[in-house]
């Protein structure tokens, strides 16, 4: 039957998300979910939405969320467009800005989905390598024909590192096309680029409620951009891309900034402890501005380490990037989860050192 499929789809491999095993089996540190429950306001709001009935279509523009978010973020509501997770936002932005055969730029190593979106669109992509310290090179700002969109995850995944606001402004000034700053992890960072959108209309910022609001299962994200771009994105998105329960839950979540700050404090405290534990075990750890840490090892191959962790019910993300190298991306869990992971790693690394299995 593949003869019926567009050839460029038939040859592409498709995005492979991190494993989602049945609940309870693993200490799950592989997909950067928040280890704590969301604001209690979320389930109350969803229960109320259920009570008032689901027979009507939801608000296509998520007005309630945009008003609340506008207040929290200090941007006008018509600068916000909502999506079914920020992956939906990335899809909408790509479909709106990049035509078939045109070019999309992304950093490497970074979020693998950007590449998949280019493939689905029948677009070309250009991966520009970070320098050895996860900084951008001049190549990233180069103006080339047909370049229609640049993606930049900031903080980046898998490294957890950040590019400065000054560099982002400079990058946008040089580029002849819009730049999407993917701020999926910005709530765990010291700074962000939200206010830069008003300084240069080529800068767009996307956010998600999946990580910092502990709502990966709800599916809600949004982009902040110049209203003239938002109006074009609105033409491309599915009419009802966010359902009534997600809108209710997300609106309650972003309204509870006290919960966000408290959660951030806990995650950042564990992140610091965790980085220290991993360094003591001999890993090199990038300074992280996100809710995960990127660990490489000067001597030990890491795939067997990942597999032994998994065999002992601790799930982390093993990444091996061609022309770059391998590492473990470990999400910041609870202190107990992090201790369980570190204790096990100590045993695994010692075993190997003594030549046994």
Residues 201-240 that bind ligand PLP (CB under 6 A): 208, 210, 216, 221
Q: Is 42 in the site for ligand PLP (CB under 6 A)?
A: no
Pick one of 30, 157, 159, 241: the residue that binds ligand PLP (CB under 6 A): 157
Tokens of 298: 């000067």
Three-state secondary-structure class, residue 53: coil
Residue-wise DSSP of 57-77: PP-TT-HHHHHHHHHHHTS-G
Binding mask 168-207 for ligand PLP (x = CB under 6 A): --------------x-x-----------------------
- Cβ–Cβ contacts within 10 Å for residue 1, how many? 4
Q: How far is the CB of 236 from ligand PLP (least distance, A)?
A: 17
> How far, in Å, CA of 29 to CA of 31, rounded?
6
Buried b (16+ CB within 10 A) or exposed e, 195-227: ebbeebebbbbbbbbbbbbbbbebbbbbbbbbe
Q: Is 288 in the site for ligand PLP (CB under 6 A)?
A: no
Q: Is 319 in the site for ligand PLP (CB under 6 A)?
A: no
Q: How many helices (H) and strands (E) does the chain have?
A: 11, 12
Q: Is 153 in the site for ligand PLP (CB under 6 A)?
A: yes
Q: How far is the CB of 159 from ligand PLP (least distance, A)?
A: 11
Q: How far is the CB of 35 from ligand PLP (least distance, A)?
A: 15
Of the candidate spans 34-42, 79-87, 122-130, 168-176, the one that interacts with ligand PLP by CB under 6 A turns out to be 79-87
Q: Is 160 in the site for ligand PLP (CB under 6 A)?
A: no
Pick one of 58, 77, 85, 333: the residue that binds ligand PLP (CB under 6 A): 85
Question: How deeply is 243 buried, as exposed, middle or buried, from its count of CB atoms within 10 A (0-12, 13-18, 19+)?
Answer: middle
Enumerate binding residues for ligand PLP (CB under 6 A). 85-87, 111, 153, 157, 182, 184, 208, 210, 216, 221
């Amino acid at each position: 039957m593949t003869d019926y499929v567009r050839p460029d789809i038939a040859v592409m491999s498709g995005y492979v998300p991190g494993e989602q095993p049945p609940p309870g089996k693993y200490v799950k540190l592989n997909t950067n979910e928040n280890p704590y429950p969301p604001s209690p306001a979320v389930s109350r709001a969803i229960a109320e939405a259920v009570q008032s009935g689901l027979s009507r279509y939801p608000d296509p523009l998520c007005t309630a969320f945009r008003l609340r978010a506008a207040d929290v973020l200090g941007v006008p509501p018509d600068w916000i467009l909502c999506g079914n997770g920020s992956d939906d936002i990335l899809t909408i932005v790509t479909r709106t800005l990049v035509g078939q055969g045109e070019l999309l730029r992304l950093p490497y190593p970074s979020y693998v989905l950007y590449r998949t979106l280019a493939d689905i669109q029948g677009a070309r992509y250009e991966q520009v390598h970070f320098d050895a310290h996860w900084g951008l090179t001049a190549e990233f700002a180069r103006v080339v024909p047909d370049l229609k969109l640049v993606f930049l995850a900031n903080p980046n995944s898998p490294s957890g590192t950040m590019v400065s606001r000054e560099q982002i402004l400079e990058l946008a000034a040089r580029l002849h096309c819009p730049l999407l700053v993917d701020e999926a992890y910005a709530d765990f960072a010291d700074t962000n680029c939200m206010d830069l959108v008003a300084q240069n209309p080529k800068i767009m910022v996307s956010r998600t409620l999946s990580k910092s609001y502990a709502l990966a299962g709800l599916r809600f994200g949004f982009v902040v951009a110049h209203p003239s771009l938002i109006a074009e994105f609105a033409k491309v998105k599915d009419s009802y891309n966010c359902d009534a329960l997600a809108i209710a839950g997300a609106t309650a979540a972003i309204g509870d900034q006290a919960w966000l700050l408290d959660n951030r404090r806990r995650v950042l405290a564990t992140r610091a402890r965790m980085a220290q534990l991993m360094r003591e075990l001999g890993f090199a750890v990038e300074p992280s501005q996100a809710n995960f840490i990127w660990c490489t090892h000067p001597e030990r191959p890491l795939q067997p380490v990942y597999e032994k962790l998994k065999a002992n019910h601790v799930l982390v993300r093993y990444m091996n990037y061609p022309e770059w190298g391998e590492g473990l991306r470990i999400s910041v869990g609870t202190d107990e989860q992090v201790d369980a992971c570190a204790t096990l790693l100590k045993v695994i690394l010692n075993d190997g050192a003594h030549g046994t299995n």
